[in-house]
Structure 1
Amino acid sequence: MSSLRTYDQKRNFKETAEPKGGKRKSGGKEHIFVIQRHHASRLHYDFRLEVDGVLKSWAVPKGPSMNPSDKRLAMQVEDHPYDYKDFEGVIPEGNYGAGFVYVWDKGSYELLHGDGASFDKEAGKEIREGNLKIRLKGRKVKGEFALVRMKNSDDNAWLLLKHKDDYAVKGTYDSENYTPQRIKDRGVKEKEKMKTGTKKKAAPAKEKAKTATRAKTKRELFTPMMATLVDAPFNRDGWLFETKWDGYRAIADVSKGKVELYSRNHLSFNKDYAPVVTALEKLKHNAVLDGEIVILKKDGTSDFQALQNYKNDASGNLVYVVFDMLELDGQDLTAMPLIQRKELLKEVIKQLKSKTVVYSDHVLDTSDKLYNEAKQKGWEGIIAKEAESLYAEGKRTLSWLKIKIIGEQEAIICGYTEPKGSRKKIGSLVLGVYDDKKNLRYVGNCGGGLDGTLINELYEKMQPLIQKSSPFDEKVRTNTPVTWVKPTLVCQVKFSSWTSDKHLRQPVFLGLRKDKPATEVQKETPKSAKMATKKAATTAPAKAGREDESTVALNGKKVPLTNQNKLYWPDEKITKGELVDYYITMADYVLPYLKDRPLSLHRFPNGIKDAGFYQKDMDTASAPDWLKTVSLHAASASRDVDYLVCNNAATLVYMANLGCIEMNPWLSRVKKLDNPDYIVLDLDPENIAFKYVVETALAIKSLLDQLGVTAFCKTSGASGIHIYVPTGGKYNYETCRLFAEYVAKQVQQELPQTTSVIRTKSKRNKKVYIDYMQNSRGQTVASPYSVRPKPGATVSAPLQWDELTDDLAISNFTIYNMADRLKEIGDLWKDIDKTKNDLRKAISKIEDLAQADVE
């Protein structure tokens, strides 16, 4: 009986575009594997290995993992034909496996213990014995794996296991994190169609086959990866530097000589820039390219204003400058390092021999020469990219950075003023941007750069958008009357600087940005280049020549230091002395969050590899007499204990010398022990990707914004995020805990698949635990700037809300870069105790919202 007969019997090939099962691959030296993401009734991944001319197949519900500690269930299914390796598209409703299929990864594989004789016989034998060991050579999954049949279960139940090797990872691995967003969206869209679609009269078989083929060949639109603005150029090994082209970002999808050229928000450029399309039609490969459409001047610089005028005057040198490639001849390149993608791209563009489509070259490691050239020639700036970075489709990351020389900003046209003097129709444009709360903010007027022809075009575009009222909530003062327009047109301006009231100084109009929706336009604030490119310290050497025993004078007190060369972080070679140095350096920033608060000491006298212990009760008889303590009843000890209070650097360093790696203060102060200064929500992920912690934090912020409550956030320094709501000590713990519980449960209802408020660990697996129970007397939370007893010597770092992105990582904040971060951006929480939140008003809003729901 043919091994493909079951496959054929399950499918109606008059309806599905899947390949028929009659054809086997003839024997060859290299054997392939393919992993297909299958968004069927339940999302799963199909793992397929070529054996004896067919694809042996397993359905893996959670997808493969690169973490050896994960044991992925794999259910063996019927063999699939060899040609199935290339299948992508929609399996129509009513057919076996109906849903959307995407080739997630593919490559070749080897047997770990093959004898070099008959590959297929050996592989077949290992599969029959239920113990197949292989080495995968893919883009996303690499290295040694094992497929092991489970004992005492059905014959088709297996485990897919990753071996410990150079490719293995230690952290959480979720296949979905390596799936483009457009593919996820398409899968959901196709399933929704099937759920909501009404049954129609059956079409003829030939027509169904045509429909299936169209579904198979239909292309998804790509969304480009974006760069983060930083404040200065830099040199760094492992980075490459490119020209920042001043034009329209464009994706080119070339397939069998047909070209789709479109913007980052998926507007077609085919008609507007037909010469580029014509040039790309001659490409000898199927490819997806990423680049910039520009007008190049004779000196090689790009002219954005000339590009704006290209429709009226096509005499400019129109060029598509290509700097990345996402696919080549059906191969997904997004999981390939950038430097390798560019090597392939260079060869592909070279073969085209076109002056209209050109390759964007780069320099490695050092940006000085390129940056100076950019300044001399008046370029907009340069781009820095990690040479080993993967392509993060549709995301703005810290792997790609932009350094601007000329200040430019996208802005939304919100109106225009009456003209004066000889100018007609438009005096100046009234501009705005959205803030992080999605409120439209006025950023000034722009009259520079507007000439007669341009004014006429802008005027005509704005007439259908005229509205009576201002789109701003704030009152905008102008010297002449304003005609307000619907805020949909986006323009590009250059300017000298931002004023203190956040207005553009001397803006000059450059052109309209039809490639970006108005809703995405925000003030672009550069991040620190140092911080953006700094890696976590993992092998920092201990300071040479340090005395093991010494004394330091602080606040007029002498603090004895002992065992300063003891390794507290053995893997990173970080000593106890370096921990003490950190707290001496950071004392001015750490102390405000400890002052006048009882402390629980979490001590690690032998470093992080040994179990630490908590100490609440200070031995006042042996402790220095200058230490401040407060005697309080401890419920856990059923007696009064002497809690330490840390109000100065001497006490802070004394604690560090005791082995207190982290600082754990109460939420309330000694004078008002029953009234906490903050409400805390502790977001703790349990075997789930960190991006879901970020998603939860942003959902909490959104709810608090709705309630008129200001909150602050920080990394926990361990695995999650802490959100603090300042209360001014006006409410007792019970009130604060009830408010926290309301917020936690509201957000959990909003994100039921990824969050939990259940304390039992086993019941919140693969979810983010929203812990509101910390809001009780005597509970402690690691303070801002506290070091944590975790690998890398991570620190609990205050954050700006806009730092909560998919790129955020706990490991980015350590004892080695925290001081530099503070120099760059200051103490982000310095105003937390000045922030006034009125819980009574917030609770009133909650009641109003509840009443509205009832009505």
Structure 2
Amino acid sequence: MKPMLPTLTFDVPKGENWVYEVKYDGFRAILTWDNDITLISRNGKELLSLFPEIEQFLVENRSVFEPYLPFVLDGELVFLENRFKAGFDSIQVRGRMRSEQRIHQKAKASPCRLLIFDILQLKGKSLKEKKFIERKEILLNFFKTAGLPLEPDEKQHKLVQMIPAHKDFKKIWEKVILYDGEGIVAKQVNSHWTAGTRTREWIKNKNWKYVSCFISAYEKTNGYFYASVFKDGRPVPIGNFLFGLKPEEKNALFQIVKENKIEEDSEFIYVEPAICVELKYLEIYELQMREPHFERFRFDLMPEECTFEKFVQQQKNVPVDVEITHPDKPLWETPPIKKIDYIHYLREISPYFLPFLRDRLLTTIRYPHGIFGEAFFQKNRPDYTPEFIDTSESDGIYYIVCNDLKSLLWLGNQLAFEFHVPFQTIHSTGPSEIVFDLDPPSKDAFPLAIKAARLIKEVLDHLKLISFIKTSGNKGLQIYLPLPENRFSYEQTRMFTSFVADYLVSKDPDSFTVERMKKKRGKRLYVDYVQHAEGKTIIAPYSPRGNKNATIAAPLFWEEVNEKLTIDTFQITTMLKRLKTQGCPFQTFFQTKEIQSFEPVLEFLTNGAK
């Protein structure tokens, strides 16, 4: 069955007859479940062998889906980065995999999701003759009764999720821009589904990025113009374009290239950097523009002003009410990181970072001059804090509560490097997690932290407790045990942390201590169980640290905790690539909260104390 396709335009249709869906960059896929399950791409390729996590989810939940069989669903198979954006490069990598072992490793570490926006058959009955808005209502009811997510959610373990329709274009478009999504699809409410057609009843509008560049060559065989920017004083190609040029513009540009050529061969005419243009494109993929379109000539620019640095910076649309001041300000020296690089890190890391900041009283350490100057702690919100930022009062202090991307980017512009949070949310009556802070006496003693973590892991595994581990970003490790909300007190968790700490010291008193006074610790690792208390804070997962190496409080996979582990591996400059290639070690952190079996352990300790 060939899918119905939207038409690309640069103008969004408005009015009561239109609704809007977020467009996700992935593989268009039609899911059919009759006698067998198939997931077929737009080009007729079977996808389940490449994405076994989708089939596994469906089969494991067969009892949920069985009352609705057979059915046909239309959607997009994606690697979901946030609720409004899918990662194009990540889904491309998955699509090219051929090793069955590698496919299954990736499916487990970084599962893709099937986002459904239309329903073509339910319980064997065809729905294609129904109006789109009627099909959407049927789809919504299906998802509700089946207990499936009603909107995309990168943290949700249910991998089949719905793409909702929105009436307010402006509101959903602002979200797409803020979260760097691909765009939207406008759909006429009375439209009917027609296989294999590109229809104007579905209109796609994309979230274009803009770049200023210069023409470097013309390809004779297809009429494409090649665009470049300067990097370290040399021209670097960033792609080629043709779309968007009017016939007279194309002819004029060709004549200019021809008259000013510096070299010509059988394929190309080459020209010195001189003709500046502005192009729009979707994103950078392998250092090239995706879907570039001509926008306008830039006679006001010199080629030297078209740089690779500006090209990279212009790819992210920062919200208009978050002003990024002094974007070229150096913040770290090794590796060299400018303010705009830091802002980009915060933006890209936000889907992984924000869940650990949400609804928590935030203490930041700000570095007004980067790591080159003095820093200061900030608990009370400044007087100039924008209205869009949430705050919460505790003990007379009005804390910032960083609940969204806009707030995070504003804090980044204020040069908040370190984000410290308490062990509970503003809605919790007790700890939301237990954290063991393993603090060696020096960076050179980091192997002690590794040794302690592995010993604690043995205990936790024996007690059937699910744990997560991260670096502190400085010199230690921190072990997390998610807990259900509002079920335990700090007194109860202290009983457990004290028990584990005492066990560790008894196991190796020459390596570990619970001694609070530094001068009495010697060269032993301090197991800080006292720090886990109400009002105390810890560095949040994925937070940068204000040290010379720009390290991150980096979540780890437990198998990485061995003698090869080093803190300095995990930096602002490497973290995003790590996430894309290996996935997030804390991916199931919040799902674990409800299944963490802590009560039996607590009962054992309580009875033992008696």
TM-score (norm 1): 0.34
Higher RCO (C-alpha 8 Å, min separation 6)? 2
Higher helix share: 2
TM-score (norm 2): 0.47
Q: Which has the larger radius of gyration?
A: 1
